Chain A
Amino acid sequence: MSEAFEEAVELWLSCRPLFSEEDANHAAYLREKGRLKGLEGKYAVFAHGRFVGAFESLEAVAKALRALSPRPRHVVVVKVGVDRPPRGELEWWGGSLRL
């Protein structure tokens, strides 16, 4: 049941006519992720629909983000070679949510 609901919402989201800032940043990551080799351990930053750069520390990421104009409302940040897709589902015993 929950999977059917999830699929229905995914379908609805994929039909949205507007390409949001969030969508643009995630699309930029997908476009560029093959080129992140050699940047292992760095934070790769995608904002305003493009690759902004790769940074050694979160302080450097913050500095780069504050320099962007206009201020981004959404940014994709990935620690290359460290952040990975989860290996499976995590646990939340007794978890419940209000929809």
Chain B
Amino acid sequence: MVGRVFKAVSCYGYERGALHDYPVLRVKLLNLMGEEFPEELRLPVDTGFEGSIMLDREAYEFFAVGELPREMWRVYRTLVGRVPMRTARAIAVVGGRKLEVFVETPAYGVGKRLVGRELLNELVLVLDGPRRQACLAEA
């Protein structure tokens, strides 16, 4: 694996952080009615989040037409305790690929937007820190 060459397909500039910039992934999301979420999503890459995509409550409502039964909602272990989530199915379009994903939002609270390992593990994503670019790549 060492010395492997990756061909970048599309790159996204990092977003400004408080001290250090952070990588984002541009994702188009569709709900199960086939409707496209009206905003362009630039989701912070969070390898500490084991799920697929987390959204704020307001954005999640758009995907409530594909919600999983309550018994299948997930619970996350965090530094501040357990965070139960509502979970829905959606379609993500990333770098031209269509992927079936789960979107989640906290059952209680506002939530935030980010992309986690469940989706990241489907992609080849190169983090070019010095250039402040996250690039989808072909291996």
Binding site for B on A (CB under 8 A): 1-3, 5-6, 9, 22, 25-26, 29-30, 33, 58-59, 61-62, 65-66, 71-79, 83-86, 89-99
The answer to whether A1 touches B81 (Cβ under 8 A) is yes
- Chain A residues with CB under 8 A of B66: 61, 75, 77
A9's closest neighbor in chain B, by CB? B108
Q: Does B4 interact with chain A (Cβ within 8 Å)?
A: no
Identify A62's interface contact among B34, B80, B112, CB under 8 A: B34
A61-B32, A65-B33, A77-B32 known; A3 vs B68 contact (CB < 8 Å): no
A61's closest neighbor in chain B, by CB? B32
In order of increasing CB-CB distance, the 7 nearest A-B pairs are A2-B81, A93-B48, A95-B78, A62-B34, A92-B76, A90-B50, A75-B65
Binding site for A on B (CB under 8 A): 32-34, 48-51, 64-84, 89, 91, 100, 106-112, 116
The answer to whether B77 touches A99 (Cβ under 8 A) is no
- Chain B residues with CB under 8 A of A59: 34
Q: How far is the CA of A94 from the CA of B69 in the complex (A)?
A: 27
The answer to whether B81 touches A97 (Cβ under 8 A) is no
CB distance from B75 to the nearest CB of A (A): 5
List 7 other contacts, CB 8 Å, given A3-B82, A29-B69, A99-B108.
A58-B100, A73-B65, A85-B71, A90-B74, A91-B77, A92-B48, A95-B76
The answer to whether B32 touches A99 (Cβ under 8 A) is no
